[in-house]
A and B are shown apart, each in its own frame.
Chain A
Amino acid sequence: MQSETKARVDQLTSPAGHNVTALRFEGDIASTSKDAVLGSYQALPKDTAKLVLLDFTKVDYINSSGIALVIQMLIEAANSGQKVYAFGLSPHFTKVFTMVGITKYAGLFPTQADALAAL
């Protein structure tokens, strides 16, 4: 019943010249999304992917289990010395991420351009 989560990796360069690894998600982010969310993150090389940018532009539904997966990613990123940012959340999910405190550990931006400009 839940739509499959897809994840794609893109390599970007910020205007300041930093290498940024974008994880682009599509579909629902729920309990069934572990492989797509955590699996795709864990497959990134920790030594080079120091700036990770999550793209939620094509995500319509995130539930508390999906938020828990994002938090697990933030835990691993903190332990690996990576910084995580996100963009493309709807106003509602921006509010939800702020309410649960994710913004303390992952900067949220409206668009990819806004995020890259800040990195």
Chain B
Amino acid sequence: MSNVKSTSVEVRLPSQLGYEKVAMSTAAAVAKLMGFREDRVEDLKTAVAEACINAIEHGNKLNDDLSVGVVLSTGANALEVKVIDDGQGLKTLPPRPDIDKKIHGEEDPRGMGMFLIQALVDEAEWVKGSNGKSSYVRLVIRLDVNANAD
């Protein structure tokens, strides 16, 4: 990406499940342009999809009148993705999922989205919006310069 000018791409999604795939495809296209390896592109796609699903389901509560903003900003060696909704943001991060507890009925089988986001990108932070709106999750995935030089 060092020879590509820093830029940003914005996508606005309806608050309907399934449209996260539009953000996934856009993020993948930008990451490929930047030179990310295929495995990192796949990591980013899942992280972006999960962030959008959370925004659609929990942030905007599937309200058709609200949309989810996705802003991709390219840097010299990193791609930042902000997924913005109209919810109040997270009070606390959920605990790491425990498969044994899930199998034994001691934990909800769901609730792995945020774990996947944190595990698949280099940085993830959840920011509460002012006035209880425009909360966002910010993801950063960095180019592995050495690996890409191989």
Contacts and interface: CB of A to CB of B under 8 A. Distances in A.
DSSP class of A's interface residues: helix, strand, loop or mixed? helix
B46 A78 contact: no
Contacts of B16: 1
Nearest to B20: A63
B112 A102 contact: no
Contact of A75 (B19, B102, B113, B119): B102
B14 to A, nearest CB: 9
Contact of B116 (A32, A64, A101, A104): A64
A51 interface: no
Given A96-B116, A102-B99, A64 B18 contact: no
Interface string B133-146: 00000000000000
B80 interface: no
Contacts of A2: 17-18, 21
A96 to B, nearest CB: 7
B10 to A, nearest CB: 20
B116 A92 contact: no
A68 B29 CA distance: 28
A67 interface: yes
A23 to B, nearest CB: 18
Given A75-B105, A78-B103, A1 B21 contact: yes
A99 B116 contact: yes
Nearest to B116: A64
A100 interface: yes
Given A61-B21, A96-B116, A104-B99, A91 B39 contact: yes
Interface of B: 16-21, 39, 42-43, 46, 49-50, 53, 97-100, 102-103, 105, 108-113, 115-116, 119
Interface of A: 1-2, 30-32, 61, 63-65, 67-69, 71-72, 74-75, 78, 90-92, 96, 99-102, 104-105
11 contacts: A2-B17, A2-B21, A30-B17, A32-B18, A63-B49, A64-B112, A64-B113, A64-B116, A69-B109, A91-B39, A96-B46
